[in-house]
Amino acid sequence: MKNGLLKPGDYFLRGNYAFVEGALLAGCRFFAGYPITPSNEISAMMARRLPQVGGAFIQFEDEIASVVAIIGAANGGVKSMTATSGPGFSLMQEAIGLAFMIETPIVIVDVQRGGPSTGLPTQVGQGDFIQANFGSHGDYETVVYLPNSPQEMFDMAIKAFNTAWRYRVPVIVLADQMIGQMIEKVSVPSHDEIELVEYEKPEIPPEEFLPFDLRYEVPPFVAAGDGYRIHLTGLAHDERGYPTTDHETYSKMLLRKLRKIWDNADEIVEWEERLTEDADLIVVSYGITSRSVYKAVSDAREKGLKVGIYRLKTAWPFPYKRLKELAMEGRNILVVEVNMGQAYRVARQYISHEGVYSMPWAPGRVPPPEAILKKIEEVYKA
Amino acid sequence: MVNKDLKIRLIGAGGHGILTLGMILGETAIKNGLEASMTIGYSPAQRGGWSRADVIISENRIDYPIFTDPDILIATTQETYDLEYGNVKDGGLIIYESSLVEPREVEGVRQIGINAIENAIKLGNRIVANIIILGFFNEITKTFPEDLVEEIVASRVKKKYVDLNMKALKLGREMAYEYVGKGVMKG
């Protein structure tokens, strides 16, 4: 650990710690947060690790201050993140809209627990699926990753920072209590194999620089102190960043920001497919639930049922194109998740036939493979 | 020496080193080129409760990390033994702390009691009771190469405690030889 970063190799690492190490390797040097179970291992480890790599950690008075602090730090040019769970994530929603509005790259990990409200602080949930892209007001977009192992906590930490800084958007990693707290093998690659997105000062002379320049898909990022004039506000603004109520200007500005995600969705979306080719039924899942689905589907295959797996690795943008293709070739779809059917509702929007089924499951525990297999058998007959 | 998934449930009182033991097993498996996963559980009590580590060791990718039917149970208190002894798979193994656990009748499961706590105290610190159990477990089950276990244990403790931990591992192994020597278990 010469430079303070985790050396390449295989580790037996807790999901939440794996995220910390991935984030530090991605260049994260500021963390602001407020403690909440089951995300605490992230903030506790960040408090220990950040000073070792020349970064800073601040515990704030609440989640609102924390998320606003990372927006501020990111505008100072520092890769920044926070970690929370359901109740804290709810408090952060307004500022997520702010980060989108002022095109600030931030990373938020939501280690989901059972909700709503205080819910089940120590137990698993996946009920923030919709909220992660719709919790703030107005039209905005986030990119949301769905890790299903400590290895993916590590990998997606790096990915989250890269996506946030490439598109200048808030990126959310939607983990869950099981994935955050379970321990598994995490392979850390050689550091020079890790590709990182870093901001570069624009070549435009300062007097010509417009912080929200409409000629760009993603305008160049400048940090406070780089010598460029910037003005940031949550109000509708023009290319200079100054408030405006001019409808045409605002339409253009809003659409440009949304299109960063809309037009690059094919690049951003990720999913995992197994055994789909000959399948009659595809089971859609994500996070810890997908681990139970792996087992249920392999048991179903042993019983001769042609079942495949479509695992979401991004929630938003929703990787619908390939799923739609599989469905339209005549396959039925079953969505399994630890909530009452959030991803199911989204999947149904894209698939026009009737064979889309939901397996709702209350938070608190992961649906066991036997329960999923039973549902598979039930749906398979239909 | 793992042919398929090996599911180990470790459970005991807070302070018995259950989670550490789980971490050592997992880390040793990884360093041995195997896959491992571990999930953790606690009793609801803030003090005086139990903790549980469920470890799976496998040659293959581990699809599902949660289980209820361990191949091997290691229990260090009566309360946790009573919670779990009935869940052990047919043909499985239970290792219990004999100074704290009165074993029950279980059909089809081999049970071995070892007095790790008193022996740890004799070595100088009761904190290494879990390491005695580790030495015993590994000698009985031959799960990992002996030197790899030593290496992992040594890497996890402060320098001044390495010697104590090596002694604990050795004692655990010797207790296993003695146990096997009794003829209760051969081969």
Whether complex ipTM tops 0.95: no
Is B26–A292 a contact, with Cβ atoms under 8 angstroms apart?
Answer: no
Is B66–A368 a contact, with Cβ atoms under 8 angstroms apart?
Answer: yes
- Tell me the β-bridge partners of A357: A334
Min distance B114 CA to chain A CA atoms (Å):
28
Q: Is residue A189 part of a domain?
A: yes
Min distance A291 CA to chain B CA atoms (Å):
5
Query: Which of these three, A193, A212, A231, is where a domain ends?
Result: A193
Query: Which of these three, A193, A217, A242, is where a domain ends?
Result: A193
Task: Give Cβ neighbours of residue A367 (< 8 Å, ≥ 6 apart).
Answer: A289, A292, A336, A338, A359, A361
Min distance B184 CA to chain A CA atoms (Å):
35
Report the alpha-carbon distance of residue A202 to residue A146 in Å, rounded: 33
The CATH number of whichever domain residue A71 belongs to comes to: 3.40.50.970
- Asked if residue A327 and residue A179 are part of one domain, the reply reads no
- Asked if residue A279 and residue A186 are part of one domain, the reply reads no
- Asked if residue A277 and residue A166 are part of one domain, the reply reads no
Average pLDDT, chain A: 97
For residue B21, give the H/E element and its range. Answer: helix B18-31
- Asked if residue A295 and residue A170 are part of one domain, the reply reads no
Residue range of the domain that includes A15: 9-193
Which domains can be identified in chain B, with CATH numbers?
A: 6-181 (3.40.920.10)
The CATH number of whichever domain residue A374 belongs to comes to: 3.40.50.920
Q: Is residue A161 part of a domain?
A: yes
Min distance A82 CA to chain B CA atoms (Å):
24
Q: Is residue A119 part of a domain?
A: yes
Q: Is residue A261 part of a domain?
A: no
CB B93 within 8 A of CB B71: yes
* pLDDT score, position A3: 84
- Asked if residue A37 and residue A178 are part of one domain, the reply reads yes
- Asked if residue A275 and residue A161 are part of one domain, the reply reads no
Which chain B residues are closer than 8 Å to A122 by Cβ? 42
* pLDDT score, position A200: 84
In the predicted structure, residue A84 carries a pLDDT above the cut 80: yes
Q: What is the pLDDT of residues B11-57, one digit of tens each?
A: 999 889 999 999 999 999 999 999 999 999 888 776 778 999 999 99
Report the alpha-carbon distance of residue A374 to residue A246 in Å, rounded: 57
* pLDDT score, position B1: 45
Nearest to B64 among A184, A185, A369 (CB): A369
Instruction: Count Cα neighbours of B3 within 13 Å in the Cβ-side half-sphere.
Output: 2
Which DSSP state fits A285?
E
Would you call A378 helix, strand, or coil by DSSP?
A: helix
Q: Is residue A281 part of a domain?
A: yes
Burial class of B181 by CB neighbour count within 10 A (0 to 12, 13 to 18, 19+): exposed
Position B3 confidence tier, pLDDT thresholds 50, 70, 90: low
Instruction: Count Cα neighbours of B133 within 13 Å in the Cβ-side half-sphere.
Output: 33
- Asked if residue A279 and residue A161 are part of one domain, the reply reads no
- Asked if residue A189 and residue A306 are part of one domain, the reply reads no
As a dihedral over the C-alpha atoms of residue B6, residue A302, residue A311, residue B29, rounded to 10 degrees, the angle is 10
Give chain A's domain count: 2
Tell whether B89 lies on the interface with A, counting CB pairs under 8 A: no
Query: Which of these three, A193, A211, A232, is where a domain ends?
Result: A193
Task: Give Cβ neighbours of residue A284 (< 8 Å, ≥ 6 apart).
Answer: A310, A311, A312, A323, A333, A334, A335, A336, A343, A347
User: What are the E-state strand segments in chain A?
Assistant: 9-14, 30-33, 56-59, 80-84, 106-114, 120-124, 143-145, 170-176, 183-188, 271-274, 281-285, 307-312, 314-316, 332-336, 356-359
- Of the residues B23, B28, B30, the best mutation for testing chain A's interface (the one with the most A CB atoms within 10 Å of its CB) is B30
Position B187 confidence tier, pLDDT thresholds 50, 70, 90: very low
* pLDDT score, position B186: 42
* pLDDT score, position B42: 83
Q: Between chain A and chain B, how many beta carbons pairs sit less than 8 Å apart?
A: 53
Q: Is residue A357 part of a domain?
A: yes
- Asked if residue A284 and residue A183 are part of one domain, the reply reads no
Q: Is residue A290 part of a domain?
A: yes
- Asked if residue A152 and residue A17 are part of one domain, the reply reads yes
Which of A84, A73, A135 lies closest to A106, judged by CA? A73
Provide the token pair at A160.
Answer: 């989250």
Q: Is residue A2 part of a domain?
A: no
In the predicted structure, residue B182 carries a pLDDT above the cut 80: no
